[in-house]
Amino acid sequence: MNQTHYTSPIPFHHQDVSADILQRAMGALLGSAVGDALGAPFEFGPANQYSAQFPEPVLGGVGEMIGGGSFGWSPGEFTDDTQMTLALAESLLAQGSLDLDDLWTRFVSWRAGATDIGIATSRALSASDRFEAARNDAANPGRSASNGALMRTWAIALAYLGHSTEEVMNAAYTQASMTHFDPAAGWGAAIGAELCRRAILGGDVINQIDDILSYVPNDQRVRFSHILSPDWTPGNEDEPSNGSVWTCLAEAVWAVRNHSNFSDVVTAAIDLGGDTDTVACVAGAIAGATYGIQGIPSRWLTYINGSINTPNGRKTYDFLGLQNIARSLIGSKPAVLTMRETPKEPQQVDETFAVFATDLGGALLSDPSFATVSLCLTGGELANHPIRRELYIRDNEGDANLDLLTLVRDAVESIDALLAEGHRVLVHCHGGRSRTGLILKAWAMRQYDFDDQEADEWVTARWPYYATWNETFLNFLQDEWNINRRR
């Protein structure tokens, strides 16, 4: 592959995607943002700082999204890593291609309002245009083999999802050239994008690393092969810091290779210390693409937020906004809120525990002291409830949900944790019927050691709006949840 990747535009095309690919694509973008926000408070800190503060998962309250750090981030706020990913994504969507002139304009707009910005990126974007930035680096080469181009490459993986490895890596390398002129930075971004893309498509990317590296030029491949090998481990004093593209990518891949769920991947990445937000961002993108949106804990997804300067003003993103950016990048229609039904009054469904049920309309009218567990789109309208959970679940039969077991376990454990803190917990979906019933039954099966039929009778007697049209949900409770429900 030619190492000169500075031509544009580079168009992309879309194709129809299945539900599992859609959920992995959303997982990739949201996973990168979650890792970024979760790691931000620990940036520049020592190893093991995260696990020292959170020795056990915080399933109640607002979880581990505490904010703070060197730049005073709000709880759940993503940093420059995700901000630049979104600037790249907005450019791709506006142009239908990788257009470097448009991307430069958006990066410069972003820089004007950025709280945090890397040295190489700041140096490049201080130039009058992208050509002067390249000339400045050629005349006075800086340290641009850093991780700032890798951290934003995920939009390429989604937009070029149906393209070849060579085309994806070319686009990723080319976007890197806007700010990072060392070829290693470009190839690190290219490798990261292709790892993410293949994971979205369902590939076992750890076992495909050698194939991906075969597209990298020999003079770059040797070092990347070393750091991405199975026997590489973090903490080697001979390696550069994880602010470099090599060690950042190596640590992220190490975390993915050695852990088996999204939570463990990103927390292990953060616990390596140093550039924690970026390493967790990279690890989160690959892990999110691997495990999908339903594999990311709701206590993290719910509170993800941030904003960027654009040429048309400040733009804000939340959980739904990030879902829709991901959907648009792969050619799917944005998710929209359906018309509300007549609100149902919240009703307590258990005599011992303060578990309530309602629909979306009822939840929106409920007292903010309720801790809500939302199983449908809310459009951010429950933000007045400081304690809440939002979960992505489709009320369709068949393979509509990539990981129903992890999602149901998340919802049930959230209910228990919030109850233990003394909250009244309000469970709802759009109509308060199928998805609400699924989670209430799953909770009762665990709480009272019911089988699925006993749980069905329990819900039917307490919540008259419960519906049983989804055979996949019924079979799940009878089989998979019945086996896995116990703590």
Q: What angle do CA 428, 434, 436 make, to 5 degrees?
A: 25
| pLDDT band, residue 3 (cuts 50/70/90) | very low
DSSP code string of 31-90: HHHHHHHHHGGGTTB-TTHHHHH-SS---STTTT---BTTTTBPTTB--HHHHHHHHHHH
Asked if residue 364 and residue 228 are part of one domain, the reply reads no
Flag whether 340 is in a domain: no
Flag whether 161 is in a domain: yes
Asked if residue 269 and residue 374 are part of one domain, the reply reads no
Asked if residue 142 and residue 111 are part of one domain, the reply reads yes
Asked if residue 382 and residue 318 are part of one domain, the reply reads no
Q: d(Cα 300, Cα 78) in Å, to the nearest integer? A: 11
Per the listing, tokens 């329990």 go with 458
Percent of the chain having pLDDT more than 70?
98
Model pLDDT for residues 230-259, shown as the tens digit of each residue:
999 999 888 999 999 999 999 999 999 999
Q: d(Cα 157, Cα 170) in Å, to the nearest integer? A: 11
Asked if residue 292 and residue 354 are part of one domain, the reply reads no
Asked if residue 284 and residue 408 are part of one domain, the reply reads no
Handedness of CA 416, 400, 337, 281 (dihedral sign): positive
Its domain, for residue 399, covers 347-485
Asked if residue 212 and residue 151 are part of one domain, the reply reads yes
Model pLDDT for residues 329-387, shown as the tens digit of each residue:
999 999 988 889 999 999 999 999 999 999 999 999 999 999 999 999 999 999 999 99
- Rounded to 10 deg, the angle between the 319-329 and 80-95 helix axes is 40
Asked if residue 436 and residue 405 are part of one domain, the reply reads yes
Flag whether 45 is in a domain: yes
| pLDDT band, residue 7 (cuts 50/70/90) | low
pLDDT surpassing 50 at residue 153: yes
Residue 2's pLDDT is 43
Asked if residue 366 and residue 318 are part of one domain, the reply reads no
Number of other residues whose CB lies within 10 A of the CB of residue 409 = 17
Q: d(Cα 479, Cα 487) in Å, to the nearest integer? A: 16
Asked if residue 155 and residue 115 are part of one domain, the reply reads yes
Asked if residue 314 and residue 357 are part of one domain, the reply reads no
Residue 337's pLDDT is 86
Flag whether 476 is in a domain: yes
| pLDDT band, residue 5 (cuts 50/70/90) | very low
The CATH number of residue 421's host domain is 3.90.190.10
Flag whether 342 is in a domain: no
- Give the domain-ending residue among 262, 296, 330: 330
Flag whether 9 is in a domain: no
The CATH number of residue 124's host domain is 1.10.4080.10
| Residues 95-101, mean pLDDT to the nearest whole number | 97
pTM above threshold 0.95: yes
Flag whether 339 is in a domain: no
| Residues 183-202, mean pLDDT to the nearest whole number | 98
Q: Name the 3-class secondary structure at 199.
A: helix
Flag whether 268 is in a domain: yes
Q: What is the largest CA-CA distance in the chain?
A: 77
- Give the domain-ending residue among 302, 330, 358: 330
Residue 141's pLDDT is 81
Model pLDDT for residues 383-423, shown as the tens digit of each residue:
999 999 999 999 999 999 999 999 999 999 999 999 999 99
Q: Domain count for the chain, please give it.
A: 2
- Give the domain-ending residue among 330, 356, 383: 330
Residue 6's pLDDT is 54
Asked if residue 359 and residue 267 are part of one domain, the reply reads no
